[in-house]
Amino acid sequence: MSELFVFDERLGIALPSLNQDWDEYEHDVQQQILLQWENIRGSIPDRIRDLESIINQKQDALSNENNFSRSCELNTEIAEMASIINDLWLWYRTNQHISSKRHT
């Protein structure tokens, strides 16, 4: 089952890596995939919260930073984390309907 999910270092979560159409998987494999995805998906808000906390720390550091180079680095780091948060929300929302299939 783990080969159907690949850990994404940037996002900090495992993502589905399905190499065939959904209907080609056996029903019990589909159920295992959905259960695993639901668990991963449930961890996304916590991951986002952690990143937001780091962003807040970096913004505090930025407001006190006098070195222009370091300010640019902090801005870049904040922008990257914001991009990660955006991608995590996309995964969370895009796959919401997949998790609901398990209940139908």
How far apart (Å, rounded) are the C-alpha atoms in residues 33 and 102? 10
Pick from 90, 76, 98, 93: nearest CA to 11:
90
User: Which residue segment(s) compose the domain that 80 sits in?
Assistant: 5-93
- Within a domain: 26: yes
Q: Please give the chain's pLDDT, 104 residues, in tens.
A: 558 999 999 999 999 999 898 899 999 999 999 999 999 999 999 999 999 999 999 999 999 999 999 999 999 999 999 999 999 999 999 765 554 444 44
How far apart (Å, rounded) are the C-alpha atoms in residues 34 and 104? 12
- Within a domain: 99: no
Q: How many domains does the chain have?
A: 1
- Within a domain: 100: no
* pLDDT for 1: 55
16 three-class SS:
strand
Half-sphere exposure of 21 (CA within 13 A, CB side): 2
Confirm if 14 and 5 have CB atoms less than 8 A apart. Answer: yes
* pLDDT for 94: 79
- Within a domain: 98: no
- Within a domain: 102: no
In this prediction the pTM is 0.83
- Within a domain: 67: yes
* pLDDT for 103: 46
- Within a domain: 51: yes
- Within a domain: 104: no
8 three-class SS:
strand
